[in-house]
């Protein structure tokens, strides 16, 4: 068995947690699978797998080697796929904010998977920074101007931002008619994952931008929690309009200072340079561009 096939076998054993199941998947005798891994461990001089009567698990060194194997096998698959007329196959690992995924991406996902039946997807959710190369992520979708210059960046669009508060909050603190009326008001702090600082409120008029920090009783790192606390009346926040579209229509939330709306927030797909020839990433990003263009 050559090196690439040995890597595929190790990956399958770790994912299936079983020599027997992995060998069956690859149409190998179990004894052959066992001998191949023994030879690999001998050649590397480390133990890769912990074996018990019930399951198999990677050692620390085995986990590290497994992740390197995944990356190498993905590169081989992508290189071959670039010169093949076949549709992309394999696992596509992405990370996207949960609210954006649920509102804009997931409703269209069945059509994407129907078009590419040999693709499977691993979808992570979050606002946090993701080290795409180290974590093996193919592509992330993020809002705000990206600071990373070592990624390929594809602009997908922009979201209109609004300033909002709950009726209960406004009944207690009053409705401001200009940024100068914000004395005595509170904001909910949103902590940037890039800087670890609370972002100020932003107000724009006639091309000029004004940033204001208000007192806050609570600050958060999750945009979902940020929106939930605003609905509970704990302060003013700024967020994409789509997040509060239904609440604004029913006046469960109230837009403030519409003549001073914050500047729109762009959002992007980012992926490593090593993935620019990946058929999986290419079709996914092209699909993202299309669904956001149709909104």
3-class secondary-structure state, position 19: helix
Q: Using CA of residue 103, residue 119, residue 114, residue 16, what is the dihedral sign?
A: negative
CATH fold of 3-81 reads Arc Repressor Mutant, subunit A (1.10.10)
Region(s) of the chain under CATH 3.40.190.10: 90-156+266-293, 161-263
Angle at 127 between CA 281 and CA 213, to 5 degrees: 140
Partner residues linked to 164 by β-bridges: 237, 255
- Furthest-apart CA atoms within the chain: distance in Å: 77
What is the pLDDT tens value at each position of the chain, 295 positions in all? 899 999 999 988 988 889 998 898 888 999 999 999 999 999 999 999 998 877 899 999 999 999 889 888 877 877 776 666 678 888 888 999 888 889 999 999 999 999 999 899 989 886 666 666 556 688 889 888 877 667 889 999 999 999 999 999 999 999 999 999 999 999 999 998 778 899 999 999 888 999 999 999 999 998 889 999 999 999 999 999 999 999 999 999 999 999 999 999 999 999 877 666 678 888 999 999 999 997 6
CATH superfamily for domain 90-156+266-293: Periplasmic binding protein-like II (3.40.190.10)
Coil, strand, or helix at residue 60?
A: helix
Which CATH class for the 161-263 domain? alpha beta
This model's pTM is above 0.95 = no
Side-chain half-sphere CA neighbours of 266 within 13 A: 10
Residue of 284, 262, 8, 238 lying closest to 138 (CA atoms): 284
CB 71, CB 11: distance < 8 Å:
no
Residues of the chain with CATH 1.10.10.10: 3-81
């Amino acid at each position: 068995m050559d090196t690439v096939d040995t890597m595929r076998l190790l990956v399958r054993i770790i994912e299936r947690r079983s020599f027997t199941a992995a060998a069956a998947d690859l149409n190998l005798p179990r004894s052959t699978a066992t001998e191949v891994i023994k030879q690999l461990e001998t050649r590397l001089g480390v133990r890769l797998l912990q074996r018990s009567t019930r399951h198999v698990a990677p050692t620390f060194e085995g986990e590290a080697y497994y992740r390197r194997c995944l990356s190498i096998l993905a590169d081989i698959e992508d290189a071959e796929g670039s010169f093949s007329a076949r549709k992309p196959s394999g696992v596509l690992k992405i990370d996207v904010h949960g609210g954006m995924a649920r509102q804009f991406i997931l409703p269209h996902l069945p059509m994407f998977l129907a078009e590419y039946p040999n693709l499977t997807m691993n979808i992570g959710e979050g606002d946090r920074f993701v080290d795409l190369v180290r974590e093996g992520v193919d592509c992330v979708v993020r809002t705000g101007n990206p600071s990373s210059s070592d990624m390929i960046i594809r602009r997908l669009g922009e979201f209109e931002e609004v300033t909002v508060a709950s009726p209960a909050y406004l009944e207690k603190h009053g409705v401001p008619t200009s940024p100068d009326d914000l004395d005595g008001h509170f904001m909910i702090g949103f902590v940037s994952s890039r800087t670890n600082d609370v972002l100020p409120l932003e107000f724009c008029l006639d091309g000029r931008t004004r940033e204001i920090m208000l007192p806050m009783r609570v600050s958060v790192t999750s945009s979902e929690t940020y929106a939930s606390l605003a609905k509970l009346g704990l302060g003013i926040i700024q967020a994409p309009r789509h997040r509060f579209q239904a609440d604004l229509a029913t006046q469960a939330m109230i837009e403030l200072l519409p003549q001073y709306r914050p500047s729109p927030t762009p959002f992007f797909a980012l992926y490593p340079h090593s993935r620019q020839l990946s058929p999986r990433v290419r079709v996914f990003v092209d699909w993202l561009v299309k669904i956001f263009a149709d909104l």
